[in-house]
Structure 1
Amino acid sequence: MNTNKTILITGARAPAALHLCRLFHSTGHTVIIADSTPYPLSKASTSTDYFYEIPSPKWNTKESIDALLSIIQRHHVDVLIPTCEEIFYIARYKEIFSPFCHVFVDDFHKLSLLHNKWGFIQLTANLGWRVPATYKINNEHAIKTMIHEAPATTPFVLKPIFSRFSDKVEFITKEAAIKENIVDKSNYIIQEFIPGTQHCSYSIAQSGNVLAHSTYKTEFTAGLGATIAFKPIDHAKIEQFVEHMVKELDFSGQIAFDFIVTENGDAIPIECNPRATSGLHLFDEEIVSAFLNAKIDQPLTPKVNAECAIRLAMLVYGLPYVKSKQKRKRWLQVLRSYPDIMYSRTDRKPYFYQFFSMYKLWRESVKHKRTMLEQTTHDIAWDGEPL
């Protein structure tokens, strides 16, 4: 009996998608990739059998969905796996794809609730977990009360309800919060700032059960939010939270959370990304079984030495760490010793192609006057618009 599958992976621009392509290819499956950018990383990989450039899910939603359906029917795709924010568009029109293949996403209403930073905080608090004091910007009275009751040295966090990579997140002092007319920032929330270190989790779940899980500490980032170096750690409270949330939602698919871990070890959830994140890089071929609905008795976890980094990003965003006496030594250590996510002895082209891909990304960002991080998701981001 032939157990090999045909896998369609969207969001081929993401390093996580490249990693998935390599894992599925190495385990004998046919790999098809699709993206609305013409220069995604995985395009250069020998682990992919076909690449399709599709219309933008954000700006040409119907055409994008139609293109994916055509690919699925043409190649008799068995599993569709989104990796980036195109997941929201695919989830919204999941019923179109489901008769032809397994769509590795949960229902749209669950994903939209988790993606909404205000909705996620409310859900988490209702489940009994500690969260930062959080208010919508339109709740002016509650915000003023929170600010005035806080100590003078307490900072606050302003963030859009829909965002990614900590894009447009602002840390403001109490004095600035009092003076600034933050009510004008529509679709924002304001949170109390909780001192601690950021940790992230990535998990795969099926019908409320965690099939695979990784936790890692954020040391180095692209901008404020996107982690670019990874080393697995154990954190019981984070694992407990993930299991609880997945069970309560009866969740299926990929799901990731951000936490602030305080000095006493308490893990406070602050955001959710209901999609693939770089925590996927910490797994090897065994995680393929979690995507194929295989029987898994105990959640899969990364090997102890499964550390890795995106070295180009470490260099591009390395200046603040080089300038810091406290962080320079650690930055150099990670840069030298962590294996590069892009490089593979059996699949070398993406390592070189990434420079071209980043150059094209930079050109587009300059042309449209966006940051490079904004440009990476401009055509696939979903910010709560009706679908």
Structure 2
Amino acid sequence: LCSKEDAVNTRRKASLATVMYTDPEVLDCFLGLPNARHEARKALIDALDLGNNELRDEIRSLGDHEHFGRFTVDGDTGFESLNMAELVDVLQTRAPLMLQLLQGTTKSIYQQRERQNDFGPRFVLILAILCFSQRRNSASNFQTILGLYLHSKGVKRRQLDLLTQLGVTVSYQSIMRSIKLLSEKAAESVAETGCQSSDAVTAYDNFEQVEGVKEQRVGENDRLHSVTTGEVIRGIDIPPGGLRQDMLNPQAELRTGDIFFAPGNSQDTIEHQISRYFTVQAIRMAFPEATRSIFTSTASTNSISIMPAIDILKPRKTVHYPLGLIPYDESSNSGNLAVLENIFRKQYGLSCNLSSNFRGYKQFAIIGLRP
């Protein structure tokens, strides 16, 4: 059967394969017996090479996905990107055999006694470790993001080294390199947003912190540090070209009455409907028996108690970047100028002098300064 390729042997091979691999009695005879199960199954697995083909290909395919692939600073590096429900869906799509193997292996022995839990997040971690073990450099996104998150929460180097040995995170050195790359990328984003975006708003404020000492000694007291923190924000409603000084009309006065008695505020029909709704609901709750006949009599009266439908705008995420270190106190005039120099010249990379291009700086500074 192995050496002959004629028509008779071809039919015999097909018949033998049908009997050996599809007949339940034959399979039970060779694979179901306790004394032959281990050897027969091992021989079958070795012959089919399951571990090096289908399962290995699934791990390779899973490692090509963005959540399990190579870590890049341009991608989503936040911990919220590790959405377990989404990652489980990725496992079902790219590694169905591995997921089925894990589900069958972890199936409870005492199903009636033990509570059935969802082990999806555990399977995500197991397969992420397998991807990381197969390709250490090009399949480290999951481990890097988790390591960055744990490092930001104060996990020490010794604990991170232990997690690295378990394959849960990358090494401490890799985490520090990733932090450096992220800081360089953030500095570029701050400079690009601050000096090139016309809708950029720079906001800053003083920040004071007391540095204490563990053991009080002569001449060693708590020290007060006065620095400045800031952010650059992409203003959603800033007009094209940014805010300019010629937009300010000092002759136009905006009084309180102009705001409260504007047509949209003094004659707000939506506000009246909402107030009427809550008033009617309060009366119904206080006097249910007396008002039951009123609200069930006519449809027009019943419409009073309906909350109006409001067309709410879709939420928009505000893009903002924290500024770097500003080691100056903005409470004084000299400190405020030093803060402006640090922001616009050092962090934004604007090489112009403040006095020569004061108008350009003014539209940033006027928004950032406090009244």
Structure-1-length-normalised TM-score: 0.22
Name the structure where helix makes up a greater proportion of residues: 2
Higher relative contact order (CA 8 A, sep 6+): 1
